């Protein structure tokens, strides 16, 4: 089964590299990955939301899901799985970004992006699609730049959405409890 997943991963990586790659897209993907580095864009958005009293709860939810997802992915899963990145396994590929030092599975950029974007999509229906598009571009950049396998990104998406769903449930339960005693 793992061999089949790896073969599909490699087919997708090869297709992207041979069919989509060009200088303009290279620059866009480097920029998108930089936005996702250390989750800086998501932290900035969350802090901006926390500043405003009307959006404070959503900002706190976003920071909470960011922390939970980071601990789960970077602190627990990556050290357990220890999957090498594509550029490590296929060193003939010429990276256009600095080589990440951590393991590949799951994609932290993707998990964090989808975790926060899912919270923002649920809470801000009118503008939520913008956050979702940003998360998709960050996730795709990781595969395009050859630092993640597609399966790393898919699991990152699932993990991020699940963490957002759990965080949302916890916050809504807490709010419902608070409303019932007020």
CA–CA distance, 161 with 111 (Å, rounded to integer): 8
Q: Quick one: what percent of the chain has pLDDT higher than 70? A: 95
Residue (of 129, 111, 124) closest to 42 by Cα position = 111
The string of DSSP letters for 24-52 reads HHHHHHHHHHHHHGGGHHHHHHHHHHHHS
Q: Is the pLDDT of residue 157 over 50?
A: yes
In angstroms, the Cα distances linking 86 to 52, 54, 111 are 42, 43, 18
User: Is 58 exposed, middle or buried (CB count within 10 Å of its CB: 0-12, 13-18, 19+)?
Assistant: buried
87-114 pLDDT, tens digit per residue, is 888 888 888 899 888 999 999 999 999 9
Give backbone dihedrals phi and psi of 96, rounded to 5 degrees, phi first: -110, 5
Fold entry, domain 20-176: Vanadium-containing Chloroperoxidase; domain 2 (1.10.606)
CA–CA distance, 53 with 106 (Å, rounded to integer): 34
**8 Å CB contact between 150 and 12:** yes
Tokens read off for 123: 């809470």
Q: Quick one: what percent of the chain has pLDDT higher than 90? A: 67
CA–CA distance, 168 with 103 (Å, rounded to integer): 28
Mean pLDDT of 45-49: 95
CA–CA distance, 164 with 68 (Å, rounded to integer): 9
- pTM reported for the whole predicted model: 0.90
**8 Å CB contact between 152 and 105:** yes
Domain boundaries, the chain: 20-176
């Amino acid at each position: 089964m793992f061999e089949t997943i790896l073969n599909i991963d490699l087919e997708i990586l090869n297709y992207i590299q041979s069919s989509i790659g060009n200088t303009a897209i290279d620059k866009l993907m480097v920029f998108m990955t930089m936005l996702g580095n250390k989750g800086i864009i998501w932290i900035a958005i969350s802090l901006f939301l926390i500043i405003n009293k009307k959006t404070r709860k959503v900002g706190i939810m976003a920071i909470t899901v960011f922390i939970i997802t980071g601990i789960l992915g970077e602190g627990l899963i990556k050290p357990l799985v220890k999957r090498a990145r594509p550029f490590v396994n296929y060193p003939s590929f010429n990276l256009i970004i600095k080589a990440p030092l951590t393991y590949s599975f799951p994609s932290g950029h993707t998990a964090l992006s989808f975790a926060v974007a899912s919270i923002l999509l649920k809470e801000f229906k009118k503008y939520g699609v913008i956050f979702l598009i940003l998360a998709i571009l960050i996730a795709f950049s990781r595969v395009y730049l050859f630092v993640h396998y597609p399966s790393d990104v898919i699991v990152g998406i699932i993990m991020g959405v699940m963490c957002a769903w759990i965080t949302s449930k916890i916050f809504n339960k807490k709010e419902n409890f608070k409303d019932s005693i007020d």
